[in-house]
Structure 1
Amino acid sequence: MKRVSDVAFSDAVKAEQARRGSRTGYARMAEKQDWRDRVTPDLAAFLAERDSFYLATASAAGQPYIQHRGGPKGFLKVLDDKTLGFADFGGNKQYITLGNLSENDQAHIFLMDYAGRQRVKLWGRARVVEDDPDLLGRLADPGADGRPERVILFSIAAWDINCPQHITPRYSEDLIALAVDKLRQRIAELETEVARLRDRGIG
């Protein structure tokens, strides 16, 4: 029986899992709760908080390539329960991703939440959309740096959440600033309390 996770668990992968002792567990997982192939509210909420991700493509010959994409939070948008999209901005003009997608539409998106120690992996197919100003307008965030040139759409075949093992927590400037502001507020409160006690001759 075909399973959603078969997009990653090919016959060769399953053979390695069997040889190394993990196949039974993954087969049981697929029977009870396989990977998902549609956007859920939890996934949509996770994507809305991400300001970067990695997009993997490969040439027709199988040469892999990974490109980092960044932007305002939520720039990778949910268009429907099977489709994600983002505005593609001008870069270094290597066009490796575009060239790969022109001959091999299989792609992968890898997202990290370092502070929350969570990673999400999405398998699917991607395509480039040129000359669609309405779609580009829907996906291009006004606050993003640079000029949007085209759209890349990603059709989800499967997605999965990894365990937090080996993820070293890292924090964005925004999160650090929020924590520092809370500390400053607490310090100000304590300084006010110390001054009040001194005025009363205490301390």
Structure 2
Amino acid sequence: MNYHPGEIQVQERAGVRDIAARKNSIYSEIPLAAKTFLESQPFLILGAADDDGAVWASVWFGTPGFIKVEDSQHAMISGFPDSQDPISLCLTPSNPIAAIAIDFATRRRMRLNGRIGEIQPNGFQFRAEQVYSNCPKYIQAREWTLKEGPSIEPAAQALETLSEEVVTLVNKADTFFIATQHLQYGTDVSHRGGMPGFVRAEDDRTLVFPDYSGNAMFNTLGNAVCYPQAGLLFMDFDSGSLIQLTGTVEILWDVTPFAHWFQGAQRIIRFHLERGIITSHAMPLSWSTVQYSPANPSVVVES
């Protein structure tokens, strides 16, 4: 297993370099089990950077089968994001891209990192370079169904600061995704989960959240110590809204000032907003009542 210098730097500081060095679960091809899993999903999380270097995370919905694995290196993703989605500016041939297929109901997830291949009239090709799964830790269990009744047209609103609506949705979130990029080693998008309150707004341009014990690989933080640009995606499972934020992150190694909020935090991540977008009525799926992961540490929610 090869890591880039940023990942190694964080692994060493966290004291898990030996554990990380023993990881050998990353494939350079899409295994058969991954093909079956990918093709059964109704949505896909994506992460990529635009020409200005801003990193964005997004989610792409489709009828199961909209992800079609063509061979061991390529998957075809049908459809395109709405033109208001910032990720639409990132879809250019050879641009690094990352994806997560996640089944909340079974707490399974599959990650793919690679590059954009051909852009076709009905979608684009994902050229996989790294394929691997993660453990179910911190994934909240939910089941999806298609929304019934007439659909409501999505409505997007640009953000320069964290509005009151955004702060309310973020403060009750139990799940989000973070995309990062290393200019030499590619893009990554990863899942973050915890009890409601595990993401907090410090002010109208700043969020903080804990970094819990994970797989010791530190793909996200390894990218961030070299290139701090990051994109966050929040899916509000109650309202169907999506929040996409881009900015920079910093790693706070001293958790003491936050220990009363975040039990089990090994580091704190502070996100500084540059701009964003909130899109209402964006998800064509309805979600069942959440079942929180038993691995979630406690958080203190202040009234």
- Normalised to the residue count of structure 2, the TM-score between the two structures is 0.45
- Summarize deviations over 1:118-142 as a string: whole Å, max 9, x none: 1111100013524xxxxxxxxxxxx
Assess if the C-alpha contact under 8 Å between 2:117 and 2:126 holds in 1. Answer: yes
Assess if the C-alpha contact under 8 Å between 1:98 and 1:128 holds in 2. Answer: no
Give the whole-Å Cα distance in 2 for the aligned partners of 1:87 and 1:158.
Answer: 21
Which residue identity is paired with 1:43? A
Which residues of 2 match residues 73-92 of structure 1 at below 5 A?
Answer: 73-89=64-80, 92=82
Q: Secondary structure of 2:79's match?
A: strand
Q: What is the percent sequence identity of the aligned residues?
A: 23
Distance 1:171 1:150, change over 3 A: same
Which residue identity is paired with 1:20? A
Assess if the C-alpha contact under 8 Å between 2:45 and 2:57 holds in 1. Answer: yes
Distance 1:55 1:22, change over 3 A: same
Counterpart of 1:66 in structure 2 is 57
Which residue identity is paired with 1:69? W
Report the structure, 1 or 2, having the larger strand content: 2
Counterpart of 1:99 in structure 2 is 89
Which residues of 2 match residues 145-184 of structure 1 at below 5 A?
Answer: 149-173=121-145
Give the whole-Å Cα distance in 1 for the aligned partners of 2:89 and 2:99.
Answer: 17
Assess if the C-alpha contact under 8 Å between 1:122 and 1:156 holds in 2. Answer: yes
RMSD: 2.1
Give the whole-Å Cα distance in 2 for the aligned partners of 1:103 and 1:58.
Answer: 13
Counterpart of 2:13 in structure 1 is 19
Assess if the C-alpha contact under 8 Å between 1:60 and 1:104 holds in 2. Answer: no
Give the whole-Å Cα distance in 2 for the aligned partners of 1:95 and 1:50.
Answer: 21
Pick from 96, 111, 119 the counterpart of residue 109 of structure 2. 119
Give the whole-Å Cα distance in 1 for the aligned partners of 2:122 and 2:65.
Answer: 17
Greater C-alpha Rg: 1
Give the whole-Å Cα distance in 1 for the aligned partners of 2:118 and 2:85.
Answer: 12
Which residue identity is paired with 2:14? R
Give the whole-Å Cα distance in 1 for the aligned partners of 2:83 and 2:10.
Answer: 39
Which residue identity is paired with 2:12? A
Distance 1:127 1:14, change over 3 A: same
Give the whole-Å Cα distance in 2 for the aligned partners of 1:77 and 1:104.
Answer: 19
Pick from 22, 32, 39 the counterpart of residue 30 of structure 2. 39
Assess if the C-alpha contact under 8 Å between 1:57 and 1:64 holds in 2. Answer: yes
Query: Please, which runs of 5 or more residues in structure 2 have no aligned partner?
Result: 147-303
Query: Please, which runs of 5 or more residues in structure 1 have no aligned partner?
Result: 131-148, 175-203
C-alpha deviation, 1:98, in angstroms: 3.9
Assess if the C-alpha contact under 8 Å between 2:102 and 2:110 holds in 1. Answer: yes
Report the structure, 1 or 2, having the larger helix content: 1
Give the whole-Å Cα distance in 2 for the aligned partners of 1:102 and 1:71.
Answer: 21
- Normalised to the residue count of structure 1, the TM-score between the two structures is 0.65
